[in-house]
Chain A
């Protein structure tokens, strides 16, 4: 199963953009790239996902490299509430949520 690599921690200032990187060099052609985040003392929550094209939603944007070996989650204006652990995960097209590999993610600190 393909794995992802993320920095352990990152820091940002409030109202500034944040770019959270993820490397997934062993991604297969049918793997979807998913991002979840986990706020302190809560369960993870879905943020965004994509396959090949860049994606935008109300929470964030996802930029996917042309070779799909890396991606970047973009928070356009960080708020204090965005302080969380962000997980980058690959999900096989077959839809096997049961085969998701959850790493340690990136712990994002947001300074006021």
Chain B
């Protein structure tokens, strides 16, 4: 049971290049999320998905696209990378967002992160 995995762990891009970050989870979670974490700021939600074939915008979606073709995978794409997208990217997954009371935390499980530098 690997939990949430992210590929790649590190990447350096030049401005204008494109890339895709892959997130995979083996816990059969319905919900998946992409966050970015920057120094001096908390985690910010980029996009999320409530199920296979569905995606929605989070707090900072501009410059990113996502796809969820399979329940276990959530892809984050950068079509034309910019230096402002230099960040650490975290993927997370959870059961349905509906709270199940105090015995069910609906906690998010996070991946180890991808450190992206855009020059």
Contact = CB atoms under 8 A, between A and B. Distances in A.
A112 interface: no
A104 B99 contact: no
Interface string B75-109: 00000000000000010101011110010011111
Interface in A49-93: 49-51, 53, 55, 87, 91, 93
- Give chain A's interface secondary structure class: loop
Contacts of A105: 42
Contacts of B40: 104
B97 A95 contact: yes
Interface stretch (B14-22, B64-72, B110-118): B110-118
B42 A97 contact: no
Interface residues of B, number: 30
Contact of B112 (A42, A96, A104): A42
Contact-residue bracket for chain A: 20 to 34
Contacts of B58: 98
B110 A98 contact: no
B13 interface: no
9 contacts: A41-B113, A43-B113, A44-B110, A46-B105, A46-B109, A94-B99, A97-B108, A104-B40, A104-B42
Interface of A: 32, 34, 36, 41-46, 49-51, 53, 55, 87, 91, 93-98, 100-105
Interface of B: 4, 31, 33, 35, 40-45, 48, 56, 58, 90, 92, 94, 96-99, 102, 105-113
